[in-house]
Chains A and B, each alone.
Chain A
C-alpha cells in the first residue's frame, strides 16, 4: 500500500543560506542508498521536505532498512498517496488506511491536516474536525486525544494528497559529505569501528588505516578488519582501507626500547603513519577509539604522549564512554559479533605484563631517539608497501 516515503530531517533545518548544500547532500545520499535496493525511486525536495517515491514495486522492509542507514534523516514516514477526488473520497481512503494498518480499533488519535495547496475547499482546522468525526463514526472504540494521541493521522494536501501515521526512527546526524574527511585508526576491536561510525554520523567521509604484523597476526585478523570496515561502510559509504605491514618497525622497537614502553612507542608511530596517509588524501583529522583509562595506553598521560606526535587534531568520540555504552552502539551497528572474534591484533602480541601507565614524555622521547635513522627507513618502507582495499557496504 505504501508507494512513497516522507523523509524528515532535523538539524539541517536550522541552517541558514547554505541549507541547500545539506539538503542536496542528503538527497544524494538517499539516492545512493536506494540505488542498491530493488525497484526505482524518485527522490525530490519539495518545499523543505524530502520525498522518495517508488516508480515500481519494491520490497518495503529492504527500503526501510536502507533508509535507516542514511545519516541526516531523523524520521521515515511511509506514505499513502491519493489523487484529490473530493473530500468524501479522501475520508473513505483515510478510513480504509486506518482499517488496514491498525487491526485493533482501540487507539486514541488526532488528525493533523496540512493544506499546502491553498485552493483546497476546506481549511486545515475544518479537515481536522470533519475527518475526526468520520473516523469516530467508522470505528467503535477509538477516541480522540489532541494532547497525546497514539496515532497521529497526518493528511497533507498538495497536488496529490499524502496520508501517513507512522514515523520510523532514522539514523540522525548529518549527511555524509558535508563535513570533510578524516582518517580512522581501525583495529579489530570493539571501539574503533564505533568511533568511525560516530564521526561519520556527523557527515564526515571516513578513510581508515589498519596495522597488521604477520606472522604474529593472521590473514583472518586482517579479513576481520576488512569485514568491520564493510559494516561501518553500510552507514558511511565505501571506506578506503590502508593496510600497513607493521612487523618490522614493531620488532625493531621491541629490540631497541624498554619493553614496558613498547606499546606507547608503537602507538606514536602508528599515529605518525596514520597522519602521513591522512595528509596524503586530504583528511582534516584522525579518529581513534580511545577511551580514558580503558587500557594502559589510554590513560591521560599516555594519550598526552601519543597525541603530541600529530599535527592534525585527533578526534576520540568514545573518550568518555563506558565499555558497555560502546558495546551497545557496536551491537546497534552490527560490528560487535565481528569485533569479538578471537584473533590476535598487533597491539597485544608483545604487550608487556606491566606496561607504563603514566609515561613521562621526556623518557619516551629519549627512548625513541635510540631508534635513529633505521626506524625512519623501516617506517618509510611500511608506508611504501601499503595495501589498499576498498571496503564497500555488503
Chain B
C-alpha cells in the first residue's frame, strides 16, 4: 500500500487541471501578447483563470497577479511594498515562524536599512495579539503574517490582526501568506481587510511553477521583475499560460466542494491525533479541532530521529516530511518548533503528516499501523 501524507510539501495535479493544461500545450500555445488569434486564444485562458480566482475571493479580476509560485508572491509582496512605501516609514512587522521565503526576504530588507520586528508565538504556534499592538509604531508600513503555519498547521488570528491595524494605524499594508490556507478556508480579502494575499498552485492540486498574488487595487507597490510590461507592468515575462490555466481550474475544483472536504479532513486529523496520543512518548505539536488547520499533523516521536522514521516509513510506501520540506535539506532545526518552545529531543524527532482531498481513512490507518510497528524497533537503536 502507498500513503502519500506529504501534501503540504506538494500535491498531485488533478485531472481537470491536467486536461486544460494539455490544451494550452497542444492547441492554445500562442503567446498571449501576440496580436493574432493564437495569442487571443491563449489570453482567454488567463482571463478565465483570473476571473475564476477573483470570484472565489470576491475581488476584481485585475487584482490577481500571476507569479511563479509562493516564493515569488511573498518576495514581490514584501519587497514591492517596502520599496514603494519607504518614504512613509522603514518598519515592518512579521512573525518568527514565517516560511523561509518571507524570513529571508525580511533579512534582505534589513540589509537595505529596514527595521523588522519578529513577533513571538505561544506554545501552539499562534502569534499573541498584544505583541502586535506593542510593535506597531509611527513608521510601520507593512505587517506580513502567514494564515496557516506550514509546519504545524497553527492558524493565525487574521481578522483580529487586521482589526488591530485598522484601529491603531490604518495605513499599514497587511500581507497574508495564504499558501497553506488557500483551498482549506474561505478567504475574502475585502471583508477581512487583507491588502495582499500569496497563493501557490501546487499546494492545491495545480501544477508547480505557478502562483498568484492578490493585490488590492490602489495599493502602492513596485514590481521586482522588469521587461516587456506584461500583467500591467507589474510582472514582466511571458505569462505561464499552462500554469495559469491549471491553477485556475484547480482552485475551482477544490472550492466547489470545500465544506465537505474540510469536514472530512478535520475528522481524519482528529482521528489521527487521537490515535497518536495513545502511544507512548509521543507529543502532538498540532492542535486538534477547528483551532488549527484541517490537514496538518505534526508529531514528535521522542527517541526516534525524524529522518530515520521518515526513511523507515518511505520503505513501506508512506511519505512524510521531517519538519518543513523547504528547510529540511539544510541541517537547520525548525524555527517554528523552536519558537513554540519545544525541547531539543522533541524538535529532532518531529514528523509532519499532511493530507489532501484524496487522503483516505485507509491511508491514515495504514500509517498508524506501520508507526506502531516501527517505533519499538527504532527506539531500541539510538545514539548513546
Q: Which residues of A contact B218 (CB under 8 A)?
A: none
B315 touches A215 (CB 8 A): yes
Q: Which residues of A contact B307 (CB under 8 A)?
A: 218, 344
CB neighbors of A among B330-384 (8 A): 330-331, 380-384
Q: How far is the CA of A180 from the CA of B313 in the complex (A)?
A: 43
User: In the complex, what's the smallest C-beta–C-beta distance from A354 to chain B, in angstroms?
Assistant: 10
A contact face: mostly helix, strand, loop, or mixed: loop
Given A254-B381, A350-B383, answer yes or no on A215-B308 (Cβ-Cβ < 8 Å): yes
A216 touches B383 (CB 8 A): no
Q: Is A293 located at the chain interface by the 8 A CB criterion?
A: no
Q: Which residues of B contact A393 (CB under 8 A)?
A: none
Q: How far is the CA of A251 from the CA of B380 in the complex (A)?
A: 9
CB neighbors of A among B273-327 (8 A): 307-315
Q: Which residues of A contact B380 (CB under 8 A)?
A: 255
Q: Which of B313, B314, B331 contacts A342 (CB 8 A)?
A: B331
Q: Which residues of A contact B308 (CB under 8 A)?
A: 215-216, 349
B contact face: mostly helix, strand, loop, or mixed: helix
Q: Is A352 located at the chain interface by the 8 A CB criterion?
A: yes
- Interface size counted on chain B using CB atoms at 8 A: 16
Smallest Cβ-Cβ distance to B313: which chain A residue: A215
Q: Is A351 located at the chain interface by the 8 A CB criterion?
A: yes
Q: Is A147 located at the chain interface by the 8 A CB criterion?
A: no
Q: How far is the CA of A221 from the CA of B365 in the complex (A)?
A: 30
Q: Which of B309, B310, B330, B383 contacts A351 (CB 8 A)?
A: B383
Q: Which residues of B contact A349 (CB under 8 A)?
A: 308, 383
User: In the complex, what's the smallest C-beta–C-beta distance from B350 to chain A, in angstroms?
Assistant: 17
Q: Is A353 located at the chain interface by the 8 A CB criterion?
A: yes
Q: How far is the CA of A216 from the CA of B304 in the complex (A)?
A: 10
Q: Which residues of A contact B384 (CB under 8 A)?
A: 259, 350, 352-353
Smallest Cβ-Cβ distance to A221: which chain B residue: B311
Contact with B along A238-278 (1 / 0, CB 8 A): 00000000000001001100010000000000000000000
Q: Which residues of B contact A350 (CB under 8 A)?
A: 381-384
Q: How far is the CA of A353 from the CA of B307 in the complex (A)?
A: 20
CB neighbors of B among A308-359 (8 A): 342, 344, 349-353
Q: How far is the CA of A344 from the CA of B308 in the complex (A)?
A: 10
Q: Which of B311, B330, B381 contacts A214 (CB 8 A)?
A: B311
Q: Show the binding face of A for B, using Cβ within 8 Å.
A: 214-219, 251, 254-255, 259, 342, 344, 349-353
Q: Show the binding face of B for A, using Cβ within 8 Å.
A: 307-315, 330-331, 380-384
Additional 8 contacts, C-beta under 8 A, given A215-B311, A217-B311: A215-B308, A215-B309, A215-B310, A215-B315, A219-B314, A349-B383, A351-B383, A353-B384
Which 10 pairs show the lowest CB-CB distances between chains A and B? A215-B311, A215-B312, A342-B331, A259-B384, A218-B311, A216-B308, A215-B308, A254-B381, A251-B381, A215-B315
